[in-house]
Structure 1
C-alpha cells in the first residue's frame, strides 16, 4: 500500500494516542473527519494498522518484562520457533534477527520465578541450544514519551 504524507501524519497521531477522536486527528492533518475516517479504515483493511493497544505502566501493574536471546539448534527452522513461542502466553512478541543470536523474545511475567519457569519451558522443547535473558529495569517509548522505572 502506498502511503502519502497525510497517511503518515495520521499514523503518527494514532501512535501517540490510538483512542484519539477522528475529529482531533482531522483538525491536525487539515482534513475533515470523513476522509480521515476513510483513510484509517483503508489502512486497517490493508493491514498497515493491525490493531490498537493500551500502554500499561508495568511497574504499577506489578509485572516484569524481559528479553531473551535465543539460539536455535542446527536443525530448527525459524518457523518452528514461531510455532513454539505462539503457544507460550507470556511471550509478547519475538523477532528473528540476523547474526548471533537467532531471535529475540519479549516476555511479560509476574516475577523472576515465573520468568525462570517460562525460560525453562522454552529450553525443554529441544529446539534451542542456548538462551540469555535480560530483565528490563526501565522503559521509555518515543511515541508516548513515557515509561516506568
Structure 2
C-alpha cells in the first residue's frame, strides 16, 4: 500500500474525528468540492487505505465497567493465528496483539466488574496454548486515539 498524500491524509483525519461529517464540510476544511472529496474517499476505500466506518461506544454504556490488559505467555510454537482463533470467541476481548518482550501477546479485556474479569481471565488462562498470564486493571484511561490519530 502506498503512503497517503497530504490531502488524502487530511481527509482521513477529518473522517477519523467524525465519520458522519458531510463531504461538503470536509471539502471546506481541506479546500476541495464535495464531489472531489467523495471521489477521494471512494478511491481510499477501494485501495484499502480506509477499511470501513464505525461507531465508538463508551464500554461503560454497555455495562463494561472494568478494563484490563492481560499479557499472554504461550506454549512454544503457538502461532499468532492460534492465539487469534483462541481469543475470537470471547466477547470481552476488545483487542489482542502479538508483542515484543517476554510476553507473546497482550489482550485488552472489558468486563462488567472485577468478578466477571476474574472469570474471563480464568477461561483465557485455561486455553490450551496459554502457559501463564499477567494482568493489570486500568484505573483511569488517560489518552485514547481512534482511527488516524491527530494530524501534525
**TM-score range for the pair, normalised by the shorter chain length:** 0.7 to 0.9
Q: Deviations over 1:124-143 (max 9, x none)?
A: 11211111112222222246
Shift of 1:27: 0.7
Counterpart of 2:68 in structure 1 is: 66
Counterpart of 1:79 in structure 2 is: 81
Distance verdict in 2 for CA 1:143–1:95, change over 3 Å = closer
Q: Secondary structure at the match of 1:52?
A: coil
Matched, 1:27 2:28: yes
Aligned residues: 144
Runs of 4+ displaced beyond 6 Å? none
Counterpart of 1:9 in structure 2 is: 10
Distance verdict in 2 for CA 1:143–1:79, change over 3 Å = closer
Distance verdict in 2 for CA 1:51–1:109, change over 3 Å = farther
**Structure 1, unpaired ranges of 5+:** 145-149
Counterpart of 1:141 in structure 2 is: 144
* RMSD, aligned CA: 1.9
Give the TM-score taking structure 2 as reference length.
Answer: 0.84
**Structure 2, unpaired ranges of 5+:** 148-152
Does structure 1 retain, via aligned residues, the 8 Å contact 2:69–2:106?
A: yes
Q: Secondary structure at the match of 1:125?
A: coil
